[in-house]
Amino acid sequence: MPIIEGREIRFSRLSAAQGLSQVRVSNIIQDDRGFMWFGTQDGLNRYDGYKFKVFRHDNAHPDSLSGVYIYSLFKDRSGTIWVGSDQYLDRFDALTETFTHYRIDAQDSSGSATAINQISQDDSGMLWLSTGSGLYKLDPTSGLISHYRHVPNDPSSLGDNDIKTTGEDRAGTFWVGTGRSLDEFDRISGKVKRHIPLGDSGMGTYFHEDRFGVFWIIYGEDGVIATFDRKTNTLTRYELTPESGAAKVRNPAYTMLEDHQGTMWFGTGATGLLRFDRERRQFISNNNRPGDSESLADTRVITLFEDSEENIWAGLHQAEPNFFESKSPPFESFTHGTGTHNGLGGALIGALYEDRQGVLWVATESLVKRIVRKTGRSSTFRQLRNYEVLSIIEEGSDTLWFGTGGQGLMRYNRRTGRIRTYRNDPTDSTSLCSDLIERLLIDHRGNLWAATWDGLCRFDATSQHFITYKPDLNTRGLNYYAIAEAENGSLWLGSNLGLLSFDPGSGRFKIYHHNSDDPQSLSDNRVNAVFFDHLGQMWIGTQNGLDKFNPEIHTFAAYGERQGMAGNVVSCILEDTRGRLWESTNKGVSSFDPPTEQFNNYTTADGLPGPDLTGWGACYKSAAGEMFFGGFSGAAAFYPSRVHDTVQVPNIVLTDFRLAGAEVPIGNKSPLRESITDTNYITLTSRQNIFSFEFSALSYFNSETTRYRYKLEGLDIKWNEVDSTQRIASYTTLPKGDYTLRVQGASSRGPWNEPGVSLHVHILPPWWDTWWFKTTYVASITLCLWFGYRFRLQEVTRQHNLRLQERLRERSRIARELHDTLLQGFQGLMLQFQNVLNTLQHDEPIYRRIEHVMGRADDVLLEGRQSTSGLRDEGRNDGDLSELLMHYGEQLAEDHTVPFSFFLIGEARYIDPAMLREIYCIGREAIRNAFQHSRAAKIEAELSYERTVVTLTVRDNGIGIEPHVLAAGLNGHWGVSGMRERAEAIGGQLSVWSGLGSGTEITLTAPLSAIDSPFKWDSLWRRIGVLGRKV
């Protein structure tokens, strides 16, 4: 079967610089999250589109990969990855990124573990392991392993112990490929039902049934490709025959793949990657081409895989993996070099044109190529070799005109194959006006026009002469770049000095310039393209945008990158059947919908040969609607109807997490308990507030064009947009709190994949800012203050009691001396006055005077006794306050014959001794004042205990206090100042109410304890000192 050289595939190459542990990749799979996995002879590699993470065996970690050399990779239906290495069978845990080991013993005299060549899973969920020591069945649920071997002279056993591959066909039949045969295996009995001998090479057998029911086999030492008819047990071999003239070499097939469209691909040892063309019954080879970086990097393809985005990956024998997009891109590219895909042999596309015969003419700087669109065959137009063609146009069925960049105008007769050249002759005014011709046009009358660098020329076919037209104004240095005809027959020309209109009838020109002060003027004076759409609207492509001309008011509306166009430099304009405009720019191709004013942009990710398709304004639209654009990056062809604006939104994942630049391991003692890809919540200490996250869109074709944006909610207000080279979100010295990292991705022109991926980050406060520390701190300070206060209170109380005892002792002494001296002496004088009184007659005037004085003396004596008694009673502060006050009031009542009542409300509470003395003194003073000054008929005292305060009230129904005295604050009256001073010292309040003729009521409210009282020790000490000085 013939092998035809193909050039339709553009390969992308991975690089060892991205972190690949070894270039030779023999196994490729993709997990459910989208990561690509590569098995090498130096570990297992996970790829995220930009870099690799390598898993190797580590003696210090028993849950690491068991071996180094990876023989097989498999993803089961649950998404679990199984790895067959040179040691054990490993099951990968994606959450912890660890491995569980299953030892598969060879069960021979060596007792060593056996390598696993391939892993498959049947419809019951059992795993089948192909090894060099037979076939093993593993129950993933129970871990039970069963072993099947070749038994000599037993035809029902396996054909060989060297098992290469296993699997089910579409009917559910289980097949085993060995080094010598293909066996139909009964999984229930463990017996072989059918042997298909395939030689004795020992190289192995690999098989696959495609969607059409064809059972493909690769077998034998030569890697023969064959199909197997299971009904007739017959093989049909496919001999790989190179193209005529090519040397025949050994070309074994190593691997095969059926893609999503049912196309069969084969990896070979000499012809690279083969695609099987079912219709033509031939193989198309995509092989390595030296010097072409978009060709396959090696001639030997040892493994193939198709990912979820329909990219096909190829593992190569001595180069990094390559991959390509199996679905055809919307744009077909024609690149520069002769040795490259659709090579053109030139660096810049000067002109593009498809003639009536379906031949695409492509002009570069030094040659013109003809490409037959149906077959793709190309050839060089030798008559114009070394000519720089800038414009091509067809006249009739036989004639093609070529405008060149300095070599004149050429007319090619296709029928005769002859070319006639027209050149400029400075001495002949009817000759071509310039040899440098940018554009050619045939108007609606059939006239040929040439826009040159020194005027506009019309060719007169009858005389074979040219008529030159130039503006009346100074046009020195005027170069024409574009020409188009309006519906009214006028010509519009783009130049380096602006836009010009020309009336062929009158020969008059009008010019439009760019005015920097007028936003409605032409966007730039260099006009590269002029185009009229199907509505007659004129569009102008300049060096600074796409302009829409308003012929009524002669103004321009400009569109550029700010409005969504790919680039500001517009080189050429075309229109499709839907009325959309297509522009070649310096940053790709843009399509523009005039009614909505919406742009869609296309880049190399869509198949363009490169970003810059500007240059000489090369573009063309064929009769079939196919468009061609060319420029500095090469040329592209496409059908607008096949270009779809819908794009795949990539899946975003977090791929790495670092603290202060250091990689964070997964573990119980780490903030990362699971893989960062599967982590939704992470807690960090206050010292771990410098961190970074790396992310990736698991989309591999043109991953460098993927856009990203991220935001840390709680800190960032706006999204941070970055390109694929800056896929790291870094944050430093964040304060405590809760944050949410959000990351989104988008293709080069697609929408953001909202909501994207998110991760909640909780940063703990420092130890000194935690609730428990604050609580402990406040409690400790409060406790210290309380103990200090209690200590101070006890010390002050002790000192107060010492002074009080000293004062009381002094008062007792004074009372004794007053009683023993002054009162006794006063009483003796009264006795002597009584004796004198007894000698006098009752009717004598002196008798009544002395009797009156004796009455007053009795009162003074009584008051003196009460005062001396009070000096002693003031020290009675260790008893019950109610008993002290009641006893004192009753004593005074006996002396004054005034009724006294005492009331106790509530249960008596403990009162600090110092405070009790002050309350007692206030109450005693109030009671004594009532007896001495109120002239009351009754006196009452009431003591009330509440939860935190004690209230003492003394009231009488006496004469009361005059209003002006009460309004003056009672200063200096009835001992009220002293009572207020005592009340203030203990943090209490004293109030006095009185009505003239209605009595008086004095009320004291004081806290029960010194802890509840803002005790004014200074005031108390002052009172103690004052009293002491008075004593």
CATH number for the domain including 929?
A: 3.30.565.10
Residues 238 and 123 in one domain: yes
pLDDT at 117 exceeding the cut of 90:
yes
Residues shown for the chain: 1031
Indicate the pLDDT class of residue 1030, thresholds 50, 70 and 90: very low
Q: Which of 194-208, 234-248, 470-484 has the lowest mean pLDDT?
A: 234-248
Indicate the pLDDT class of residue 1018, thresholds 50, 70 and 90: very low
Reported as a single tens digit per residue, the pLDDT across 378-420 is: 889 988 888 999 999 999 888 999 999 999 999 999 899 999 9
Mean predicted confidence (pLDDT) in 228-238: 91
In total, how many domains does the chain have? 3
pLDDT at 181 exceeding the cut of 50:
yes
Domain boundary, last residue among 721, 736, 769? 769
| Averaged pLDDT score across all residues of the chain | 87
Q: What is the pLDDT of residue 618?
A: 93
Q: What three-state secondary structure class fits 73?
A: strand
Indicate the pLDDT class of residue 701, thresholds 50, 70 and 90: confident
> In angstroms, rounded to a whole number, what is the distance separating the alpha carbons of residues 31 and 205?
27
Q: What is the pLDDT of residue 1022?
A: 44
Mean predicted confidence (pLDDT) in 59-77: 95
Q: Which of 17-21, 175-179, 236-240, 543-547 has the lowest mean pLDDT?
A: 236-240
Residues 266 and 135 in one domain: yes
Indicate the pLDDT class of residue 968, thresholds 50, 70 and 90: low
Mean predicted confidence (pLDDT) in 768-778: 80
Residue 969 forms part of a structural domain:
yes
pLDDT at 679 exceeding the cut of 50:
yes
Reported as a single tens digit per residue, the pLDDT across 519-565 is: 999 999 999 999 999 999 999 999 999 999 999 999 999 999 999 99
Q: What is the pLDDT of residue 20?
A: 96
Percent of the chain whose pLDDT exceeds 70: 87
> In sequence order, what DSSP letters do the residues of 660-728 get, joined into one string?
TTEEPPPSTTSS--S-GGG--EEEE-GGG--EEEEEEE---TTGGG-EEEEEEETT-SS-EEE-TT--E
> In angstroms, rounded to a whole number, what is the distance separating the alpha carbons of residues 146 and 219?
27
> In angstroms, rounded to a whole number, what is the distance separating the alpha carbons of residues 614 and 631?
5
Residue 1027: strand pairing partners:
none
Q: What is the pLDDT of residue 301?
A: 96
Q: Which of 466-475, 765-774, 800-809, 887-896 has the lowest mean pLDDT?
A: 800-809
Within a 10 A sphere around the Cβ of 659, how many other Cβ atoms? 18
Q: What three-state secondary structure class fits 932?
A: helix
Residue 438 forms part of a structural domain:
no
Q: What is the pLDDT of residue 1024?
A: 40
Mean predicted confidence (pLDDT) in 414-430: 94
Q: What is the pLDDT of residue 649?
A: 73
Q: What is the pLDDT of residue 558?
A: 96
pLDDT at 834 exceeding the cut of 80:
no
Query: Can you say how many angstroms the Cα of residue 62 is from the centroid of all Cα atoms in its chain?
Result: 34
Residues 746 and 880 in one domain: no
pLDDT at 758 exceeding the cut of 90:
yes
Instruction: Calculate ∠ Cα 559-563-564, nearest 5°.
Output: 115
> In angstroms, rounded to a whole number, what is the distance separating the alpha carbons of residues 952 and 1002?
8
Q: What is the pLDDT of residue 606?
A: 80
Q: Which of 194-203, 793-802, 992-1001, 1015-1024 has the lowest mean pLDDT?
A: 1015-1024
Mean predicted confidence (pLDDT) in 503-511: 94
Q: What is the pLDDT of residue 100?
A: 95
Residue 366 forms part of a structural domain:
no
> In angstroms, rounded to a whole number, what is the distance separating the alpha carbons of residues 59 and 70?
17
Indicate the pLDDT class of residue 477, thresholds 50, 70 and 90: confident
Residues 884 and 756 in one domain: no
Secondary-structure percent of the chain, ordered helix, strand, coil, rounded to 5? 20, 40, 45
Residue 420: what residue type? R
Reported as a single tens digit per residue, the pLDDT across 252-282 is: 899 999 999 999 999 999 999 999 999 888 8
Residue 939 forms part of a structural domain:
yes
> In angstroms, rounded to a whole number, what is the distance separating the alpha carbons of residues 770 and 725?
40
Mean predicted confidence (pLDDT) in 708-736: 92
Q: Is 952 left (phi over 0), alpha (psi -120 to 50) or beta?
A: beta
Reported as a single tens digit per residue, the pLDDT across 272-320 is: 999 999 988 889 999 999 988 889 999 999 999 999 999 999 999 999 9
Residues 894 and 761 in one domain: no
Mean predicted confidence (pLDDT) in 730-744: 92
In which residue are the tokens 């419809």 written? 123
CATH number for the domain including 658?
A: 2.60.40.10
Question: How far from 908 is each of 885, 913, 944, CA to CA, in Å?
Answer: 13, 14, 8
Mean predicted confidence (pLDDT) in 914-937: 86
C-beta of residue 150 within 8 angstroms of C-beta of residue 159: yes
Indicate the pLDDT class of residue 243, thresholds 50, 70 and 90: low
Q: What is the pLDDT of residue 279?
A: 87
User: Which two tokens mark 254?
Assistant: 């190593």
Q: What is the pLDDT of residue 1014?
A: 43
Q: What single-letter DSSP state applies at residue 818?
A: I
Q: What is the pLDDT of residue 1017?
A: 41
For 690, the domain range is 652-769
Q: What three-state secondary structure class fits 811?
A: helix
CATH number for the domain including 128?
A: 2.130.10.10
Q: Which of 284-288, 486-490, 954-958, 977-981 has the lowest mean pLDDT?
A: 977-981
Residues 764 and 906 in one domain: no
Q: Which of 186-190, 503-507, 834-838 has the lowest mean pLDDT?
A: 834-838
Residue 615 forms part of a structural domain:
no
Residues 760 and 885 in one domain: no
pLDDT at 872 exceeding the cut of 70:
no
Residue 866 forms part of a structural domain:
no
From 108, 137, 112, select the one nearest 124 (Cα to Cα): 137
Q: What is the pLDDT of residue 688?
A: 86
Residue 775 forms part of a structural domain:
no
From 526, 504, 503, select the one nearest 512 (Cα to Cα): 526
Residues 122 and 242 in one domain: yes
Q: Which of 301-315, 427-441, 523-537, 655-669 has the lowest mean pLDDT?
A: 655-669
pTM of the entire predicted model: 0.70
Within a 10 A sphere around the Cβ of 630, how many other Cβ atoms? 31
Cis, bond preceding 755 (omega within 30 deg of 0)? yes
Residue 564: what residue type? G
In which residue are the tokens 């080189």 written? 571
Q: What is the pLDDT of residue 1031?
A: 26
> In angstroms, rounded to a whole number, what is the distance separating the alpha carbons of residues 794 and 791?
5
Mean predicted confidence (pLDDT) in 567-595: 95
Domain boundary, last residue among 291, 308, 325? 325
Mean predicted confidence (pLDDT) in 876-894: 80
Give, for 458, the enclosing helix (H) or strand (E). Answer: strand 455-460
* Sheet strands side by side (includes 662-663): 662-663, 652-659, 691-697, 728-731
User: Which two tokens mark 381?
Assistant: 């137009």
Residues 755 and 881 in one domain: no
C-beta of residue 176 within 8 angstroms of C-beta of residue 182: yes
Residue 238 forms part of a structural domain:
yes
Indicate the pLDDT class of residue 873, thresholds 50, 70 and 90: low
User: Which two tokens mark 627?
Assistant: 């468009």
pLDDT at 1021 exceeding the cut of 60:
no
Domain boundary, last residue among 295, 325, 355? 325
Which positions ≥6 away from 832 have C-beta within 8 Å?
none
Q: What is the pLDDT of residue 308?
A: 92
